[in-house]
Amino acid sequence: MVDKDLLSMQEARSLVRGAKIAQEILATWPQEKVDRLTESIAKAAIAESGNLAKLAVEDTGFGRWQDKKAKNILASDTLYKHIASMKTIGIINEDTDKKLIEIATPVGVIAALVPSTNPTSTTIYKSIIAIKSGNAIVFSPHPSALNCIRETIAVIHSALQSMGAPQELVTMMSIPSLEGTTELMKQADLILATGGPAMVKAAYSSGTPAIGVGAGNVPAFIERSADIPRAIDRIMSSKLFDNGTVCASEQAIVTETIIADSVCKELTAKGAYFLNNSEADKVKAIMERADGSMNPAIVGRPASYIASLAKISIPDNTKVMVYKEEGIGKNYPFSKEKLTALLGFYTADNWQEACEICFKLLKNGGIGHSLVIHSKNDSVIREFAMKKPVSRLLVNTPSTHGAVGISTNLPPSLTLGCGSVGGSSTSDNVGPKHLFNSRWLAYGTNQEEYLSGETANKCDDAEMEIDIKKITELVLKELQNA
């Protein structure tokens, strides 16, 4: 009997070998042809966005298919429109005055780790940005999402085939295992990791260059000048989107004491139910596993399901359960990330105190990620922006939609960097520009001062002049013949 782990490791090696050959073919394609290929993938994904969304819910049990369809559209149509004109192949910048030419060079083969919360959309998104930047990509799927990821790649393969591109540009492991994924990360040229802290840590510890993102524990601050009804509408729409499975969704509300009653009243009117201490204790008992990590049984589930699991009764119209948590830290589950229909609630006497509460919440598992503020006071907004250790400070918008680029002008992305403070190599919304290296042609200028007096006297302006356009033409010719 052959060991599954050994089969998984061998599969990883074989897939990377095939991907390297395919990537070498893609590397000969000009920008225009690569752009048509990414457009073809996007169109194929758009056409199947609903079917793939339903399949993701069937496989994982997480979220709502209607919202997963919206994420599939974000990862295909919205993303493609944003990057369509982006230069990612060959010469992408030239400065004739400074005599500098920037050439994009693909990293090669990317190992992509996919979370079970966003399996189809993440697969679409990573495939498009990998191909756009001239790379091949091999996916290590979450075991619970194996089927829907396989179907997503089948859709992408149809697009590759229509353009005469090798299918090995986008592949996945059919025998996922820890050992196989570890081998994949070792064999690849770059790791693109989206998932839990353990996955990201493993990526950065693999010895292969990696782009990983941290957890989100997003506070939503409602400042006293805010339009409270609109703020609650935004928070509820964000938290309910795909049943809270997006890492940028709100995890706790922080508001000022002077408006707290109005905020609570509006929350209740919009379908929030405030748990009493007894009910909260029962919910807390099912929120985490023994090691303090999030219980997957509640992830992406509606409030009614969680209440049933906790054996408590809640009103039929309840959309989100809220608890006025007493503290922040490992012993206070409502102060942590909750990718489901649960929210913590905190009050502060003023915005300065609220600022500190938000900072503590971020330090409790979401530092570097995102924070959302609802306010009409630009001075307070700017104070938050200057002091909070986040990569995205979102203003008067649903956090989920704002962070991924739906309701803001941030780049559309399903991999949200958390910066060095969050243990990530970037603070950006990750896109094609993060998946290629830059090769610089830099010509000497004003260099007579570095030459000996005798040599300098032999040089004149005519000899030092460089025909950048001619050099550019030669470089392009060489790239096309490579």
Task: Provide φ and ψ at 258, rounded to 5°.
Answer: -65, -25
Token pair for 9: 């490791």
318 within some domain: yes
Do 160 and 271 have their domain in common? no
51 within some domain: yes
- Provide the pLDDT for residue 464: 47
By the 8 A CB rule, do 219 and 371 touch? yes
Burial of 432 by CB count in 10 Å (0-12 exposed, 13-18 middle, 19+ buried)? Answer: buried
- Provide the pLDDT for residue 214: 72
137 within some domain: yes
CB pairs under 8 A, 24+ apart, for 198-207? 199/113, 199/115, 200/423, 200/424, 201/423, 203/113, 204/423, 204/425, 206/182
Do 395 and 451 have their domain in common? no
Strand locations in 109-262 (E): 109-113, 136-140, 170-172, 190-193, 210-212, 218-222, 250-256
Rounded to whole angstroms, the Cα distance separating 415 from 253 reads 24
Do 384 and 244 have their domain in common? yes
Instruction: Please name the helix (run of DSSP H) or strand (run of DSSP E) that holds residue 322, with its range, or none.
Output: strand 320-323
425 within some domain: no
Neighbours of 39 (CB within 10 A): 18
123-166: pLDDT as tens digits: 999 999 999 999 999 999 989 999 999 999 999 999 999 999 99
By the 8 A CB rule, do 168 and 89 touch? no
Residue 213 has pLDDT above 90, yes or no: no
Number of domains forming the structure of the chain: 3
Beta bridge partners of 348: 256
CATH number of residue 207's parent domain: 3.40.605.10
Range of the domain at 83: 4-213+430-435
226 within some domain: yes
243 within some domain: yes
Q: Note the pTM of the prediction, 2 decimals.
A: 0.90
Do 200 and 98 have their domain in common? yes
25-83: pLDDT as tens digits: 999 999 999 999 999 999 999 999 999 999 999 999 999 999 999 999 999 999 999 99
166-185: pLDDT as tens digits: 999 999 999 999 999 999 99
Do 157 and 31 have their domain in common? yes
Burial of 454 by CB count in 10 Å (0-12 exposed, 13-18 middle, 19+ buried)? Answer: exposed
Do 127 and 152 have their domain in common? yes
Alpha helices in 340-377 (DSSP H): 351-363
By the 8 A CB rule, do 23 and 108 touch? yes
Catalytic-residue membership of 247: yes
Angle between helices 31-47 and 119-132 (to 10 degrees): 170
381-401: pLDDT as tens digits: 999 999 899 999 999 999 999
Rounded to whole angstroms, the Cα distance separating 135 from 311 reads 50
- State percent of the chain over pLDDT 70: 92
| Residues 152, 4, 136: CA angle, nearest 5 degrees | 35
Neighbours of 373 (CB within 10 A): 29
Assign 326 to helix, strand or coil.
coil
- Provide the pLDDT for residue 122: 96
Do 383 and 243 have their domain in common? yes
Do 196 and 243 have their domain in common? no
408 within some domain: no
Among 385, 402, 419, give the residue marking a domain's end: 402
Rounded to whole angstroms, the Cα distance separating 252 from 324 reads 10
Q: What is the DSSP string of 396-457?
A: SS-HHHHHTTSSSSSPP-S-B--TGGGT-S--SB--GGGGEEEEEEE---S-GGGS-HHHHH
The one catalytic residue among 247, 264, 355, 358: 247
Rounded to whole angstroms, the Cα distance separating 138 from 173 reads 7
Neighbours of 264 (CB within 10 A): 19
Do 179 and 39 have their domain in common? yes
Instruction: Please name the helix (run of DSSP H) or strand (run of DSSP E) that holds residue 374, with its range, or none.
Output: strand 368-374
- Provide the pLDDT for residue 361: 97
By the 8 A CB rule, do 374 and 234 touch? yes
Do 31 and 135 have their domain in common? yes
Do 193 and 231 have their domain in common? no
Assign 94 to helix, strand or coil.
strand
Is residue 457 very low, low, confident or very high in pLDDT (cuts 50, 70, 90)? low
Strand locations in 46-177 (E): 90-95, 100-106, 109-113, 136-140, 170-172
417 within some domain: no
Rounded to whole angstroms, the Cα distance separating 395 from 402 reads 9
- Provide the pLDDT for residue 60: 94
Residue 448 has pLDDT above 70, yes or no: no
Do 189 and 234 have their domain in common? no
CATH number of residue 386's parent domain: 3.40.309.10
338-380: pLDDT as tens digits: 999 999 999 999 999 999 999 999 999 999 999 999 999 999 9
